[in-house]
Amino acid sequence: QKEVEQNSGPLSVPEGAIASLNCTYSDRGSQSFFWYRQYSGKSPELIMSIYSNGDKEDGRFTAQLNKASQYVSLLIRDSQPSDSATYLCAVGGFKTIFGAGTRLFVKA
Partner 1 sequence: ETGVTQTPRHLVMGMTNKKSLKCEQHLGHNAMYWYKQSAKKPLELMFVYSLEERVENNSVPSRFSPECPNSSHLFLHLHTLQPEDSALYLCASSQDPGGNLGYGYTFGSGTRLTVV
Residues of the shown chain interacting with partner 1 in the complex, contacts defined by CB under 8 A: 4, 8, 31-32, 34, 36, 42-46, 49-51, 88, 90, 92-101
Query: Which of 28, 108 has the CB closer to partner 1?
Result: 28
DSSP for 26-82 reads S-TT---EEEEEE-TTS--EEEEEE-SSEEEEETTEEEEEETTTTEEEEEESS--GG
> Which CB, 68 or 94, lies closer to partner 1?
94
What CA–CA distance (Å, rounded) separates 97 from 88? 10
Q: Of 55 and 78, which has the nearer Cβ to partner 1?
A: 55
- Least distance (Å) between residue 17 CB and partner 1: 26
